[in-house]
Amino acid sequence: MRPAALILAILCTSAALVPAALAKDKDKNKDYQWKDAKVIDITSDRGGPVVVPVAALVGVPVTKTFYWIQTSDTIYVLGPLLTKRQLLNVTLHEPTRIAIDGNTAHILDDYGKDRKIPIAEKVARPKPTDPQ
């Protein structure tokens, strides 16, 4: 009876993990419409401290980082990113590529890695007027 219970447990665990793996592969294989873009600004905003329970209550300063990305028709403000691990490796005033997926932007960093970041704001670029 024990081997049957062990096989059943393995099958149930495998069945529970398959949908998560398929969803992850679905996101990776999604074809995005990539646009040429340029990093026009990187801003940081020092917020107030956040109280974190680490053996005692400790106040930790929070810095929010925003990336301003310009395409041919829109300027996207991406962020906020709160931890150093989330920061992008992009060069200011250098070209990159961006794809929009709802309220999320996919941006290629300097190493060509696709990074997923929330869109904080969209600003339409003014159209050049026709001189007459």
Q: Model confidence over 42-76: pLDDT tens digits?
A: 999 887 777 767 777 777 778 899 999 999 999 99
* Residue 4 clears pLDDT 80, i.e. is over it: no
pLDDT given at position 13: 61
pLDDT given at position 20: 54
Pair 66, 79: CB distance under 8 Å: yes
Of 40 and 58, the structure prediction assigns the larger pLDDT to 40
* Residue 11 clears pLDDT 90, i.e. is over it: no
Please report, for the chain, the start and end positions of each structural domain, with discontinuous segments joined by +. Answer: 1-30, 35-124
